Structure 1
């Protein structure tokens, strides 16, 4: 029977072979995208695990071993908006632990650099970057210690005496190898970044759903023609079991071939997929790997799903051999189909005010809710299509519209099936853009005010210990000699809380000479006649200019202020990369134990996560929309092929070709536009519930640009539908009515 089924699958001549080729190609594309999605999610985890050794100096790394300890101090640096991860080390003996990707610890006056950082140092003037790393480049860090080929990482050799006095330095006997759930002083969160873990879980579902729909759509090509052939087999004596075997073999044949080609296509696409910056940086190609369970699930799951789909499609044929010839209107979908959608929204709403306290709890709560809503949209789609078709039928008298809505009302499942992928893409797009846009409005922008972008801050902040007892004159002279420097202010610590007034904040204002404050007008100015101002420390971290602010004078002389410890150096430049990085390098060389930041890289952890989420949103949009477009094209072509005989009969009875084209266009456009409105609104509602629960924000409208892009996407979808209409002339000839 299996051999007969294989012969039958290709016995229809060129048409049968072409059908199998199209199904194979569609399944191959879907399988390749599914494999690429799974491999990318794995790569995020792998890439996040490799740099965990940089957390070796954290207080939570308490591992011990019978080895010589190593002095360790990890910290951040930046260059032109890019983050540099740096570890200062000093060995205390021959058995001190060595980070991955290195053969030995660098001696004092040497450093190891990642390949990307080494290239950047060579291509950049030394006074902008290279002078921050003392001595010579001793070697390159291997891939096993880097999260990405583009990562900027340095391991700098120091003496034990230097690090013994450095703030935050510790002796460690073992390097960190695993992430911890709570880490106050970790340099990298690895795979336990709470927000990234949560958003990646939703992204995985958002990417996989359209791919699975695309694969399911592909396996249904020419379903009606196959049903007619199987009904004929029943008429000549074939049993329901034999027909089921033939159907499963035919569908599985193309699915197996498509899955095999999909694996080959995935391997060919790995280098290109590795360049997609899911987390802001590209992957190593070797990170794109699949777990055995995932390989097995795709290799077996896609063909099994195709066989199940074929079996379910033949339920009416199995009941009666004449079931296909005497096709009756199936039972209309009922409003009960709305239950999964309502349940998903209800779950998201339940957690408003009841947010789980753990990352695992949040992931389970929100991921389940979003996946349930996406499932609900697919389940409720036919009922929504039915309601829309009946509503249009009551308000139209045009022949093409009446035929189209009548066919949609008879089989709304088939009408919705062609646009289900796009509906999910619109939901994902609306929810993602709504969440990202709202967070952006509430948490500000990374770019900052044009005036503050030129600022370089250096030292300890807020209530941290003072940076230094004083700033040598030669350091100040060297900073003022930097081309492009506009202003320099020395912010002194204020242990006596002079000028704090009624301010109950835990940190005292910084004390700044008015002559210095006049050089940095974006922070504010002194009162008339004052010599020292008490400026709130957070104003030096502000993303917005405060040039109109007048700060209260402090009852202390300039001479007494000069004797106070220094909390921070605040400089402004002309905003050029050269000026800012030369200033940063001069400060780093003078004070290697402290960090400098510009406003561009001073964004909070939440803002840096926001930048990563924007990148993920772009990946979701650029991936789901093409997949959904392919699903739409395949579905429309499949629908035309399945209805070639009815359309041919209509042409023989005098229906013009233009009328048939309008019928097909309306059958596809009506469910697309109707459910698109529902999907977009549902996406915004789900985003609002998530934001209320997780961050206590209300949804902010994404603005006209987003709606214009959605309209452009719908126009492109209508264009895909229109591009299939010329097929009507070729497939509705008289021979289709005779041989259908």
Structure 2
């Protein structure tokens, strides 16, 4: 039977070869997009793991790290660096720096004795006064004057960091050697004896690690979401010319073939086309790797080698897609298996029941449950959201025929037009067949709506940066690590060294400087309707900076709220006078260094170099404009992901619709030719064909869009504590364009009705 199935698949004439080719191409498009998305998820994980070493010292103690490993299903030993017991500890400090809005990751290291613990990408630890730079950072440092960038690292460069230490080819990373005495005196430096090799799922205080948990979760859910349209496409493709195949298999049954033999022939035909599609699917995957690698989804471009597939993933796709095709073929032949005569008599299938909406409601209920009891670990979140969205998509597919049948029955009762009545009666007779043609597009609308709703809200929420343009060129270096319950600053730097302020003012383009000093007692100040703990500044410095308010006339010092508490309009704010002299304030520790510049690259970078050398901090000085730029880079990655979702789901849906239309042409030949012989005009037949596709498309699309918006809102509330924002005009244009394109595909088949509904088609059998 296998040889017979192969012969029927490839030797059945031009129609059989065309069916095989169309099915293979349709499957190849879906498989290529699925493989590309799987590779993107692998690339995010590879990028995050390769940069995990920078989170060393910022994840708590060993027990906490081991607990994280247990949550992630990995062994605690996976988090330890290569290095035996007895290694001398390293003084370790991770800092986040900037250059013209580009984030620089800096790791300061000082060994206290012999050790074989090494960061990745280096062959030895840098000594005091030595440093390593990533290729992109070395190129940048060589292109600008040393006082703008290279002088921040001190000493001289001894090498280039290897790929193992970098998330992507554009990463700006420095490993700087310091003396133990100097580094141990810096606030934020810690002693470590191991270097992480697996990034924890939760690291809220990691200064320069990749924030990829959210993008990993979204990509994983999108990957799972792409599987369902692909399965719909495979099922639709295997049903190409289903009517003729059912009759052929029914004839085989009538001449003595067993159900198992018929199933074997059908399975061979379907598996052959699906297997060819899987092999062809690697071509679009290879063609798209370079384009996906250039997308900074996590803020960094990928190395092309990161976009690889694991052997289990390849095996799952290579074996799973043909197996899915076989299952779809077996499902399509249920009527032949039950009764071969039923095919000739065209037995009306049972109408869908209301229970089909239960999986859809169950998926939404699971999202509500995740809102109430949210998993803490990333694997738990992925599992929960994948199962919830999986139930929702299964529910849409199952509920589609029921909704189509109910809509058709309602339309049949209310209409008075013959074409609408014929279309409604045909849909009510077999709503599953009517919905099947548009199911891929409906799923695409669901996936696209949910994904764009999530990403649009994330972009809107994270793109809200406070402050007007007057703050854009003001350089800030915050040394505080938050406030105590009483409102006092946690951490500060020493008083300003001699000549520090004068050196900053000597930089061309620097208009003024201000040193903000913490207090050891709580003094409240009022900002609008809020009361905040005060800090103290010298009035001449406050006036020189000019954007954080002013002092009372004649005051030498003033209380003010933290300059990092929010960028507001302080134009009319007169801060209360503090009972300190300028000399007393200058002798206090420093919690913020503020430098007002003209915004030029030379002024900003030279001032930053000076500030960072005097006051090394975990998060180095930056301007508000640079903060906007860095935030925009992350948001751009999410926006690109939204485009990827659109470009991934609609081709699958388009192929599914095209294959369905091609299959419907063969199935409608005889009934439509009989209608024409009975006096129905060709124009009325065309309206019938259009309505048969438009009714389920519009009815279930409305359900899919509404469900996608609700699912996105529940996801945002439970995962990110956001509320769904209104989708932009672009989304509605895409939806309208997609629906119009679907109707255009359907309309393109209408001219063929004249040729395929001639009298010769309505032959007696």
Matches within 5 A, 1:481-560: 481-498=506-523, 508-537=533-562, 539-560=563-584
What does residue 270 of structure 1 align with? 289
CA contact (8 A) 1:77 1:85 kept: yes
What does residue 305 of structure 2 align with? 286
What does residue 568 of structure 1 align with? 592
Deviations 1:102-134 (A, max 9, x none): 222233333222222233334445444333333
CA shift for structure 1 position 344: 1.6
* TM-aligned CA distance change 1:505 to 1:99, over 3 Å: farther
- Alpha-carbon distance between aligned partners in 2 of 1:359 and 1:120, rounded to the nearest angstrom: 36
Q: Please say which of residues 326-335 and 85-94 is displaced more in the overlay.
A: 85-94
What does residue 246 of structure 1 align with? 265
- Alpha-carbon distance between aligned partners in 2 of 1:490 and 1:425, rounded to the nearest angstrom: 55
Matched, 1:304 2:323: yes
What does residue 231 of structure 1 align with? 250
CA contact (8 A) 1:279 1:615 kept: no
What does residue 145 of structure 1 align with? 165
- Alpha-carbon distance between aligned partners in 2 of 1:441 and 1:43, rounded to the nearest angstrom: 26
Q: Please say which of residues 182-191 and 313-322 is displaced more in the overlay.
A: 182-191
CA shift for structure 1 position 729: 5.2
CA shift for structure 1 position 37: 1.9
- Alpha-carbon distance between aligned partners in 2 of 1:404 and 1:529, rounded to the nearest angstrom: 87
- Alpha-carbon distance between aligned partners in 1 of 2:225 and 2:468, rounded to the nearest angstrom: 35
Deviations 1:664-707 (A, max 9, x none): 33222222222222112112222333344445554443355543
* TM-aligned CA distance change 1:706 to 1:13, over 3 Å: closer
- Alpha-carbon distance between aligned partners in 1 of 2:303 and 2:520, rounded to the nearest angstrom: 49
What does residue 229 of structure 2 align with? 210
- Alpha-carbon distance between aligned partners in 1 of 2:226 and 2:355, rounded to the nearest angstrom: 27
CA contact (8 A) 1:541 1:602 kept: no
What does residue 176 of structure 2 align with? 156
- Alpha-carbon distance between aligned partners in 2 of 1:95 and 1:443, rounded to the nearest angstrom: 42
* TM-aligned CA distance change 1:366 to 1:237, over 3 Å: closer
* TM-aligned CA distance change 1:502 to 1:390, over 3 Å: closer
- Alpha-carbon distance between aligned partners in 1 of 2:221 and 2:6, rounded to the nearest angstrom: 41
* TM-aligned CA distance change 1:484 to 1:734, over 3 Å: farther
Q: Please say which of residues 274-283 and 301-310 is displaced more in the overlay.
A: 274-283
Secondary structure at the aligned position of 1:176 is classed as coil
Secondary structure at the aligned position of 1:87 is classed as strand
CA shift for structure 1 position 91: 4.1
CA contact (8 A) 1:498 1:554 kept: no
* TM-aligned CA distance change 1:238 to 1:647, over 3 Å: same
CA shift for structure 1 position 254: 0.8
For the aligned residue pairs, the C-alpha RMSD in angstroms reads 3.4
CA shift for structure 1 position 40: 1.9
Q: Please say which of residues 32-41 and 608-617 is displaced more in the overlay.
A: 608-617
What does residue 390 of structure 1 align with? 409
Q: How high is the TM-score relative to the length of structure 2?
A: 0.87
CA contact (8 A) 2:59 2:200 kept: no
CA shift for structure 1 position 250: 0.9
CA shift for structure 1 position 606: 10
What does residue 133 of structure 1 align with? 153
- Alpha-carbon distance between aligned partners in 2 of 1:68 and 1:267, rounded to the nearest angstrom: 47
Secondary structure at the aligned position of 1:168 is classed as coil
- Alpha-carbon distance between aligned partners in 2 of 1:578 and 1:666, rounded to the nearest angstrom: 66
Secondary structure at the aligned position of 1:177 is classed as coil
5+ residue gaps in structure 2? 63-79, 483-488
* TM-aligned CA distance change 1:93 to 1:315, over 3 Å: same
| Matching residue within 626, 649, 652 for 2:651 | 626
- Alpha-carbon distance between aligned partners in 1 of 2:326 and 2:641, rounded to the nearest angstrom: 34
- Alpha-carbon distance between aligned partners in 2 of 1:562 and 1:465, rounded to the nearest angstrom: 17
* TM-aligned CA distance change 1:10 to 1:705, over 3 Å: closer
| Matching residue within 66, 86, 94 for 1:66 | 86
- Alpha-carbon distance between aligned partners in 1 of 2:281 and 2:404, rounded to the nearest angstrom: 33
Matched, 1:88 2:108: yes
CA contact (8 A) 1:55 1:61 kept: no
- Alpha-carbon distance between aligned partners in 1 of 2:192 and 2:528, rounded to the nearest angstrom: 41
- Alpha-carbon distance between aligned partners in 2 of 1:738 and 1:543, rounded to the nearest angstrom: 81
- Alpha-carbon distance between aligned partners in 1 of 2:270 and 2:54, rounded to the nearest angstrom: 51
CA shift for structure 1 position 142: 1.9
Q: Please say which of residues 547-556 and 24-33 is displaced more in the overlay.
A: 547-556
* TM-aligned CA distance change 1:397 to 1:413, over 3 Å: same
Secondary structure at the aligned position of 1:73 is classed as strand
Deviations 1:151-174 (A, max 9, x none): 222212223333232222234333
- Alpha-carbon distance between aligned partners in 1 of 2:630 and 2:148, rounded to the nearest angstrom: 25
* TM-aligned CA distance change 1:430 to 1:367, over 3 Å: same
* TM-aligned CA distance change 1:696 to 1:74, over 3 Å: closer
CA contact (8 A) 2:494 2:588 kept: no
* TM-aligned CA distance change 1:650 to 1:531, over 3 Å: farther
| Matching residue within 83, 94, 101 for 2:121 | 101
Matches within 5 A, 1:180-195: 180=200, 183=203, 185-187=205-207, 195=214
Secondary structure at the aligned position of 1:76 is classed as strand
CA contact (8 A) 1:486 1:519 kept: yes
What does residue 493 of structure 2 align with? 467
What does residue 367 of structure 1 align with? 386
Secondary structure at the aligned position of 1:102 is classed as coil
Matched, 1:588 2:612: yes
- Alpha-carbon distance between aligned partners in 1 of 2:288 and 2:377, rounded to the nearest angstrom: 37
Instruction: Work out the number of aligned pairs and report it.
Output: 737
Matched, 1:114 2:140: no
- Alpha-carbon distance between aligned partners in 2 of 1:729 and 1:490, rounded to the nearest angstrom: 84
- Alpha-carbon distance between aligned partners in 2 of 1:710 and 1:18, rounded to the nearest angstrom: 31
- Alpha-carbon distance between aligned partners in 1 of 2:435 and 2:214, rounded to the nearest angstrom: 35
- Alpha-carbon distance between aligned partners in 1 of 2:117 and 2:358, rounded to the nearest angstrom: 58
CA contact (8 A) 2:542 2:548 kept: yes
- Alpha-carbon distance between aligned partners in 1 of 2:615 and 2:259, rounded to the nearest angstrom: 83
CA contact (8 A) 2:545 2:595 kept: yes
CA shift for structure 1 position 306: 0.8
| Matching residue within 348, 353, 356 for 1:329 | 348
- Alpha-carbon distance between aligned partners in 1 of 2:295 and 2:32, rounded to the nearest angstrom: 15
- Alpha-carbon distance between aligned partners in 2 of 1:284 and 1:609, rounded to the nearest angstrom: 18
- Alpha-carbon distance between aligned partners in 2 of 1:331 and 1:683, rounded to the nearest angstrom: 29
CA shift for structure 1 position 198: 3.9
CA contact (8 A) 2:559 2:575 kept: yes
Deviations 1:135-194 (A, max 9, x none): 443322222222222222221222333323222223433322123455565445569x65
- Alpha-carbon distance between aligned partners in 2 of 1:704 and 1:182, rounded to the nearest angstrom: 35
- Alpha-carbon distance between aligned partners in 2 of 1:59 and 1:700, rounded to the nearest angstrom: 33
CA shift for structure 1 position 605: 12
What does residue 661 of structure 1 align with? 686
Secondary structure at the aligned position of 1:566 is classed as coil
5+ residue gaps in structure 1? none
CA contact (8 A) 1:233 1:243 kept: yes
- Alpha-carbon distance between aligned partners in 1 of 2:762 and 2:12, rounded to the nearest angstrom: 17
Deviations 1:433-463 (A, max 9, x none): 4344445555661485333333321131342
Secondary structure at the aligned position of 2:423 is classed as helix
What does residue 430 of structure 2 align with? 411
